[in-house]
Amino acid sequence: MSKVEFKQLSPADFFYRNRELAGFDSPTKSLYTAFREIIENSFDGAEIGGINPDIFVSIKEKSEDVYTIFISDNGIGIPGSKVPKALAKLLFGGKYVERQSRGHFGLGASMTVLYSQITTNLPTRVLSCTRGSEVIDEYHLMIDIQRNEPIIRYHNQLPNKKKWHGVAVEVNIEGDYGRAHPKILNYIESTAMVAPYANITFIDAYGILYKFNKVVDEVPKLGKAVLPHPRGIDTEKMLRLIRVARQKSMKNFLTSNFQRVGDITAKNFLKYVNINPDKVPSQLDHDEIVRCVQGMNSFEDFLSPETKCLSPIGEAVLEAGIKKELEPKFIASITRKPQAYSGHPFVVEVAMAYGGNKIESSSEPTLFRFANRIPLLYDQYADVAAKVIRSFNWRMYKVPQNGNLAIITHIASTKVPYRTAGKESISDRPELEREMKLAMQVCARKMRVYLSRIEREERSAKRASIFEKYLPYIAQFATKLSGKKQVPPTDFVKSVKKGDD
């Protein structure tokens, strides 16, 4: 009998073996993913402290197919002692409360450090300094993949003479820059569009500098951390909550572990699932747990989910960013009221920008998609926004055949319903699709008012020019025909009369 050896994989080892799950599959995609992971970290670092992000990022070719990404920010920084774990230990500090966050795969920069190590075998250099600190910590880090522990190759403390705070990272990645370049550029331009409160400087691998300056001062408030809503619970999560629960009764367990559940709701719910309110949570048997979880999904009297955990961009900021990046002639936007699907709150925001030279003129609107402020650049066709756009008859809204219309969609949620593990397109949940459609209708109606006016103005300008062109000829022919000498003036054309069409 052969012996099968079961070995537990460390998270680092797991992601080492399944790196495509975290977006590191092809050399092109890997470079792009590394780039966005560290930029998103920098944004989070500044926004948490209410600081207008000021980010510098560059990509340089180090050797053939190896690129050095350097980034520095002005965020709150990571305390020196925590730097190694924050960057060189995967899944460090899990998120057990719910809050809208950028974190694309919940892996942050550590996955980038890991990928750098396995493709180039080089350490990642990190500088970090918290606000008011006298020293800057410098680390050269690698990861012990089997144990998921940081390896510190070098550590030094430098004097913080210029009172800097933030994080700077230099990481080497194997990748295909030529192919990744358009996506990287698209990503950073899109990011700038929804973050008009940030300064971003970017130097690409060809040495070209891109600068995005802030036009608003207000830094978005992060969503508050909240307890989970009962409707989003599954059995596994329930078991975990029960395991750590200190409450002595089911009623108390419900009111202290879930959002917006008070005494009355708890009592009614327990009656609904036929569980004694005074029962000790740890004493629930298997059947009761299953009944409880199923009941949470079907019980109708829970209040709708808490929305203070969400952080929509807001109409003013959204419009400011779009005006800055797309320079449209017209813009309309809406931030819808929060809604929920399966216990997860979400907010849909839509903006429509029309005209100008920067928006491509096309038979279909140009779509910019965002989820929790992150641009989504792949799988556009499958996205709920693209589906809703296809369902619109744009002629009805006076959009010309080859109009230059851009549509910007943002979904903010504690759990964005992605269609696939790749997290690049959002599924068409009915609640979401409905909100998306209503939001687009609101914007499109405003746009129609604008476009109708443009159409009218163009028509009357065209009419005036026709009169100006033809009437002098009529006068000339009438003069010749009547045998008169002087051609009568036709300057009354200026006060254009309305044709009866």
Partner 1 sequence: MSKETREKTHADKVKDKAFKKLVALGKDVYGQLEEGKYPDFEMPLRASSNIFYDLKTRQYSVGKKRVRRSAGNVRHLKPFLQTMFVASFAARDLLQPGRTSTLRDLYYSSESAMAKMFGDQSESDKAITDVEAIIGMAREDFNIFPDARSTIYGDLIVSFLDKKTKQRRELNLAFNPDGQTIGPTLVKSDFVKTGADKVICIESGGMFQRLIEEDADEQFNAILVHLAGQAPRGTRRLIRRMNEELNLPVYVFVDADPWGMHIYNVIASGSASAAHLTGLTTPDAIWMGLTPTDITTYDLPTDNFTKGDLNRTVQLIRDPRYQKPYLQEELKVFMQLKKKAEQQSLTSKSLTFVVDEYLPAKFNEIAKMQRVGKI
Chain residues binding partner 1 by CB under 8 A are 463, 466-467, 470-471, 473-475, 477-484, 488-490, 492, 497, 499-501
User: For residues 187 and 32, is the Cβ–Cβ distance under 8 A?
Assistant: yes
Q: Give min distance, CB of 490 to partner 1, in A.
A: 7
Question: Which amino acid, 271?
Answer: K
Q: Give min distance, CB of 482 to partner 1, in A.
A: 4
Beta partners for residue 1, in sequence order? none
Question: Tokens representing 207?
Answer: 């040495």
Q: Give min distance, CB of 496 to partner 1, in A.
A: 9
Q: Give min distance, CB of 473 to partner 1, in A.
A: 5
User: For residues 111 and 37, is the Cβ–Cβ distance under 8 A?
Assistant: yes
Q: Is the Cβ of residue 121 or residue 482 nearer to partner 1 in the bound state?
A: 482
C-alpha torsion sign, points 454, 456, 461, 466:
positive
Q: Is the Cβ of residue 300 or residue 500 nearer to partner 1 in the bound state?
A: 500
Q: Give min distance, CB of 464 to partner 1, in A.
A: 9
**Which runs of consecutive H residues, i.e. helices, occur in 124-167?**
none
- Residue located via tokens 């459609």: 437
Q: Give min distance, CB of 483 to partner 1, in A.
A: 6
Q: Give min distance, CB of 468 to partner 1, in A.
A: 11
Q: What backbone torsions phi and psi does residue 328 show, to the nearest 5 degrees?
A: -80, 165
Q: Is the Cβ of residue 248 or residue 497 nearer to partner 1 in the bound state?
A: 497
Q: How far is CA 275 from the centre of its chain?
A: 41
User: For residues 37 and 112, is the Cβ–Cβ distance under 8 A?
Assistant: yes
Q: Give min distance, CB of 47 to partner 1, in A.
A: 56
User: For residues 181 and 28, is the Cβ–Cβ distance under 8 A?
Assistant: no
For residues 198 and 53, give the distance between their C-alpha atoms in angstroms, rounded to a whole number.
5
54 to 79, 196, 205: CA distances (angstroms): 20, 11, 20
Q: Is the Cβ of residue 260 or residue 463 nearer to partner 1 in the bound state?
A: 463
Q: How far is CA 102 from the centre of its chain?
A: 7
Q: Give min distance, CB of 456 to partner 1, in A.
A: 14
Q: Give min distance, CB of 457 to partner 1, in A.
A: 15
Q: 108's torsion region: left (phi>0), alpha (psi -120 to 50) or beta?
A: left
Q: Is the Cβ of residue 301 or residue 501 nearer to partner 1 in the bound state?
A: 501
- The beta-strand segments (E) located in 117-222 are 124-129, 135-144, 149-159, 166-174, 199-203, 209-212
Q: Is the Cβ of residue 241 or residue 471 nearer to partner 1 in the bound state?
A: 471
Q: Is the Cβ of residue 135 or residue 466 nearer to partner 1 in the bound state?
A: 466
Q: Give min distance, CB of 465 to partner 1, in A.
A: 10
Q: Residue 353: which H helix or E strand, with range?
A: strand 344-354
- What is the crossing angle of helices 177-194 and 27-48, to 10°? 30
Q: Is the Cβ of residue 449 or residue 461 nearer to partner 1 in the bound state?
A: 461
Helix, strand, coil share of the chain (percent; to 5)? 40, 20, 40
Q: Give min distance, CB of 480 to partner 1, in A.
A: 5
Q: Is the Cβ of residue 263 or residue 458 nearer to partner 1 in the bound state?
A: 458
C-alpha torsion sign, points 194, 200, 372, 190:
positive
Q: Is the Cβ of residue 121 or residue 495 nearer to partner 1 in the bound state?
A: 495
Q: Residue 411: which H helix or E strand, with range?
A: strand 405-413
For residues 265 and 22, give the distance between their C-alpha atoms in angstroms, rounded to a whole number.
40
Q: Is the Cβ of residue 153 or residue 480 nearer to partner 1 in the bound state?
A: 480
Q: Please, which contacts does 279-282 make with residues 24 or more away whose CB atoms are closer than 8 Å? A: 279/249, 279/250, 280/248, 280/249, 280/250, 281/242, 281/245, 281/247, 281/249, 281/250, 281/253, 282/242, 282/243, 282/245
Q: Is the Cβ of residue 64 or residue 501 nearer to partner 1 in the bound state?
A: 501
